[in-house]
Every structure is written in C-alpha cells, then in structure tokens.
Amino acid sequence: MILIDGKKAAAELRQELKEEVSELKKKYNQVPGLTVILIGDLTPSQIYVRNKEKSAIEVGLKSDVIRYPDSVEEKTVLGKIEELNKDNSVSGILVQLPLPKHIDKQKVIEAIDPAKDVDGFHPMNVGNLSSGYESSIPCTPLGCYLLIKKIEPNLNGKKAVVVGRSNLNGKPMTQLLLKENCTVTITHSKTKDLKAECLEGDIIVAAVGIPELVKGDWVKKDAIVIDVGINKTEKGIVGDVAFDEVSKVAKALTPVPGGVGPMTIACLLKNTIDCFKRSQKN
C-alpha cells in the first residue's frame, strides 16, 4: 500500500512555488501578496492564520494579517474588503471562517473581488469551476486532487465516490473529478446504502466529519482513498476512514494527520500566485 505523504507533497509544492515567486519578482518587480482578515480570538483560527502567514513568507509572498475584535461591525469588514479589492499590492484576500454571528458570511464572501478570492468560495468562482472555466479552487479539494494525480495521472473513466456534499469540500471535489473525466457519485447523510456506493469507487474521497466512518469492507481492492476528515477522539486525531482496516485493501491512502491537511495551506499559496499571474495577464 502507498502511504500518501501529504507533508512531503506539500513541501515539494512550496519549493516549486518559491521558485515561481522568485521568477515573478524578476519579471514584474513585484511579488504576489496575500492578506488575511482574522476576526475574534478563536484558538483554531489563530493557529490556522499563523501557519498561513508563516508559509506565505517562506515562499516569498508579501503577507499581511488584519485583525479585528469579535465586536467589529460588519460594515467595517466590508469597507476593508473594498479597500483591499482596489489595492494593487494585494493579489489574494482571505477572510478566516467562522465569523461571529452578527456578520453575514455570504455577504462577506461576495464582497471579495472574485479575481482575489483565494478560497474559491465566491459564487462566480463556484460557477466557473462547475462550468469548467478558469477559477480559484477551494484549497482542500485542490490539495486532494493534486495528491490523487500523483498516484494516478490518468483518471479517465475511473469511478469516483465523494462522501460528503459540503460547499467547502464535497461539491468542488466532485467538479474536479468530473473535469478529469471520472464518473462521480456524490453521497451524503441521506444516501441509502453508503457501503454499496463506496464499494464501486476506484477513488474514494471522504469529507464527512465522522471518525472512521469508511470501513475496510467498504473499499474495493486497489482503490485510492483520500481522507479529508479531522476528528478529535479519545485516541487522538483520526480521519473519516478506518485507517488500519482500509490500509489492508487500498492501493493508496492518506494518513490523518499528515495527509490532506498539509496540502491545504500549500494550495492557498498556489491560489494566491495564480491570482497574481491572472491579474498580470489582464
């Protein structure tokens, strides 16, 4: 079984991006810039943002974090986004989720210029992805896609099963696999026989949030299995896939932690650079 090493893949991607940033700097005398807006003091968000900032600086991006207290008014945040939309030194804008209840998440997402939407959550980018046009792609499914392609470069005609239909993971993952000519089944909490659906998959991507939901006897021999889940349990952090069982049947499997997770931030940096390159073209 191939243990898909997300840490190594992410380090390789960051190295490629670092070289690309240095080329861009020579060509345009400017580096891509990522600005993150962080509202409140939720510990996980603070940690994510710190890691994003550290990685951005490592690959040579200009990185800024704008911090607001929990009590910030929605109009202040929208005003700041408008300002960043117009700022040529900012290639990508990310508003760290979740937001305090009094701030309308959708309004905030839609305020970001789609050309700077490095999370790929703006409806324009969602539409472009599903239409097969160029767009920012949500970072976690993009990371999964890159890991799958490393194992199997030609996905033509493969059967893929995506477990979970969230806007963040399941839906964009489905679009990426469709684009690669997979036959995709998207499953969710109301799916009648999840085991039978999973058994059809040459590729399974699980993004559910239920510890070890996907069992060994749900997986076809030699399937590629990507585990997006991050679940805190008594035995520590586990994924949505029963690792010990599934590793006995799968051809390749991502561990949790150390699989999909590290790719997410690397893909955020990639999206920032891609936004910069598109802005230079236009």
- Tell me if 264 contacts ligand NAD by CB under 6 A: yes
Catalytic one among 119, 227, 240, 274?
Answer: 119
Q: What burial letters (b/e) apply to 42-67, b meaning 16+ CB within 10 Å?
A: eeebeebbeebbebbeebbbbbbbbe
- Tell me if 50 contacts ligand NAD by CB under 6 A: no
Whether the Cβ atoms of residue 238 and residue 211 lie closer than 8 Å to each other: yes
User: Which residue's structure tokens are 């990507």?
Assistant: 226
Question: Catalytic residue at 52?
Answer: yes
Candidates 35-43, 60-68, 223-231, 243-251: pick the segment binding ligand NAD (CB under 6 A).
223-231
Centre a 10 Å sphere on the Cβ of residue 80 and count the other Cβ atoms it contains: 18
CB of 275 to ligand NAD, least distance (A): 20
Q: Which amino acid is at 74?
A: E
Q: In this structure, are strands 236-238 and 231-233 parallel, antiparallel, or unpaired?
A: antiparallel
CA angle 206, 211, 213 (to 5 degrees): 55
Site for ligand NAD (CB under 6 A): which residue of 228, 250, 267, 273?
A: 228
Question: Catalytic residue at 96?
Answer: yes
153 preceded by cis ω (within 30°)? no
**Which of 6/33 has CB closer to ligand NAD?**
6
- Tell me if 184 contacts ligand NAD by CB under 6 A: no
CB of 29 to ligand NAD, least distance (A): 34
Site for ligand NAD (CB under 6 A): which residue of 22, 89, 189, 280?
A: 189
Question: Catalytic residue at 105?
Answer: no
DSSP percent split of the chain into helix, strand, coil, nearest 5: 45, 15, 35
CB of 6 to ligand NAD, least distance (A): 9
- Taking CB under 6 A as the criterion, which residues in 127-156 touch ligand NAD? 140
- CA pair distance 31, 59, nearest whole angstrom: 10
- Tell me if 168 contacts ligand NAD by CB under 6 A: yes
Size of the site for ligand NAD (CB under 6 A): 24
Enclosing H/E stretch for 160: strand 159-163
**Which of 59/260 has CB closer to ligand NAD?**
260
Candidates 120-128, 187-195, 218-226, 270-278: pick the segment binding ligand NAD (CB under 6 A).
187-195
CA angle 189, 195, 197 (to 5 degrees): 80
Q: Residues in the site for ligand NAD, rule: CB under 6 A?
A: 140, 163-166, 168-170, 187-189, 191, 194, 207-210, 228-231, 260-261, 264
Q: Looking at the annotation, which residues are catalytic?
A: 52, 96, 119
